[in-house]
Amino acid sequence: MEWVSTLSILLSIIYAVLLSMYRLAWRALPVRELPDGFESSARITVLIPARNEADHIADCLQAVLDGNYPHSSLEIIVLDDFSTDETVELVQRFSQKSKPPGSLISCICLADHLPPEAIFSPNKKKAIEIGVAHAKGEIIVTTDADCIVPKDWLLSHLLAFENASIQMVCGPVIFQWEKNLIQRFQSLDFLGMMGITGAGYQLGWHRMANGANLAFRKEVFDAVNGYSGNEHLASGDDMFLVQKVANHWPGSVVFLKSLAATVQTAPMPDLRSFWQQRLRWGTKNAALPDWPLRWSLLTAFLMCWIMWLNLGLAIAGILSWQIVGFQWLIKCFFDFFLLSEMCRFFKRRDLLGWFIPSYILHTAYIAGLGTASIFIKNYAWKGRRTN
C-alpha cells in the first residue's frame, strides 16, 4: 500500500496548493464599489425564467421594482415555462399595477411559442432566447424567479458596462434563510463556489457564472448565436454562454465582487431535492471547455474519493491511520481557510459554526455525486424527469 500512501500525500499537497491559490486570488480580486451619485439611463431588460413559482415570483418582482433604477429605462419580462400553478396570473396582476398597465412588466408564455411536447422538457435556454428576441433593452440581465435582488443590483451591473470593452458581467449568488443542517451545508458550499468563481477570473484559469445573476449586451447574445451548440444539455445556460463570449472577445467578461450586486436565494429544503439539483448541474461538467476548471473539479473529486477509500483501508488494517489523519486534516484546514474568507466578505460568519458537520457532508457529497453523475443520466426537476 506504499503507492496509495504516496498518491494520497501528493494529492493532498496539490489540493492544498490549489485552495491556497484560490483564496489568494479572491483576496486580490478588486471589490467593485458603486460611486456616490452614479446614474445610468441605459435601457435594461430583466429576464426571469419561471416554472411553478407562484410562491416566489411576487417577491422577486417586487425586489426588482424596489431597486434604485428608473422605471422609465426598465423592462421586466417573465418567461413562463408551462407553469401549472398561478405564476402567470400573479405576473399579470403585477403588470396591471404599472402605469400605463403592462408598460413595465410582461409575461411571455412558452406555450405560445413552442410545440405542445415541449411541456415535458427543460426549456430555460429556449425561454431566454425568446426573451432576448422580444427584449427592447440594450443590456439584458437575468435572474431566477426564486431570487431576491438588492437595490443597487442593476446599477452595479451598469457601472461595469461603462467600459465599452465589457460584453458580459457575472455577479455573485448566495443562499439565505437556512433552517436545517442540509441547507447550511449548501450555503457554505455555495460560498466556496463563489470564491472559486471569482478567483478563476482573477487567475485567468476559468470563467464560471450563475444565470441568477448575469448581464450581457443584447447584440453579444446574437453575435455568438445564443445557446447554439449546447441546446441538448439541460443545464449550463450560464456557463456555456460565458465561455462563448469570452472566446469571441477575450477579456470582455468580468466578475462583480460586490455586496451591492449579490443576489440571494434559498437552498434546497431537503437532501432529495438537493441531490436532484446537483445531478442536473452535473450534466454539463463533462462538456465544460475550460480545462483548468475540469482539472480543479477532478482534483476535488479524487481527493474526496480517496479519503473515504483510505478510511476503509485503515479500518481494515491495510493502511496507516496517519495517512488518513493527514488527508482529513489537510482538507479540513484549507477548506476552512477559504470558507472563512468568503463568510467574512459576504457577512455570513454565522455559518462557520456549522463548518465541521458541513465539511463531512461536503466530502461525502463530492465523492458520491461525482461518482453518481458518471452513471446516472436522469433526474427529476420541477415535475419533469429528464434523461
SS3 per-residue string spanning the chain? CHHHHHHHHHHHHHHHHHHHHHHHHHHHCCCCCCCCCCCCCCCEEEEEEECCCCCCHHHHHHHHHCCCCCHHHEEEEEEECCCCCCHHHHHHHHHHHCCCCCCCEEEEEHHHCCCHHHHHCCCHHHHHHHHHHHCCCCEEEECCCCEECCCCHHHHHHHHHCCCCCCEEECCEEECCCCCHHHHHHHHHHHHHHHHHHHHHHHCCCCCCCCCCEEEEHHHHHHCCCCCCCCCCCCCHHHHHHHHHHHHCCCCEEECCCHHHCEEECCCCCHHHHHHHHHHHHCCHHHCCCHHHHHHHHHHHHHHHHHHHHHHHHHCCCCCHHHHHHHHHHHHHHHHHHHHHHHHHCCCHHHHHHHHHHHHHHHHHHHHHHHHHHHCCCEEECCEEEC
CA 195 to chain centre: 12
Pairing of strands 173-175, 253-255: unpaired
For 93-130, write each residue's pLDDT tens digit: 988 877 666 679 999 999 999 888 777 777 888 999 99
Q: Quick one: average pLDDT of 328-336?
A: 97
Q: Using a pLDDT cut of 70, give the percent of the chain over it.
A: 91
| pLDDT range class, residue 184, cuts 50, 70, 90 | very high
Mean pLDDT lowest among 194-208, 217-231, 354-368: 217-231
pLDDT, residue 360, reads 97
State the first-to-last Cα distance of the chain, in angstroms, to the nearest integer: 40
Look at the block and give the residue holding cell 488527508: 327
Burial class of residue 352 (count of CB atoms within 10 Å of its CB; 0-12, 13-18, 19+): middle
| pLDDT range class, residue 227, cuts 50, 70, 90 | confident
Pairing of strands 173-175, 263-265: parallel
Cα distances (Å, whole numbers) of residue 27 to 30, 232, 261: 8, 37, 18
| CA-wise closest residue to 261 among 113, 159, 150 | 150
**pTM of structure:** 0.92
| Residue 287 pLDDT exceeds 60 | no
Close Cβ partners of 73 (under 8 Å, ≥ 6 residues apart): 40, 41, 42, 43, 44
The C-alpha atoms of residue 370 and residue 285 are separated, in whole angstroms, by: 10
Sign of the Cα torsion 348, 349, 353, 359 reads positive
Q: Which three cell numbers stand for residue 182?
A: 442540509
For 229-282, write each residue's pLDDT tens digit: 665 555 556 788 998 999 899 999 999 999 999 999 999 999 989 988 888 776
pLDDT, residue 319, reads 92
For 42-85, write each residue's pLDDT tens digit: 999 999 999 999 999 999 999 999 999 999 999 999 999 999 99
CA 41 to chain centre: 28
Q: What is the mean pLDDT of the chain?
A: 91
pLDDT, residue 95, reads 86
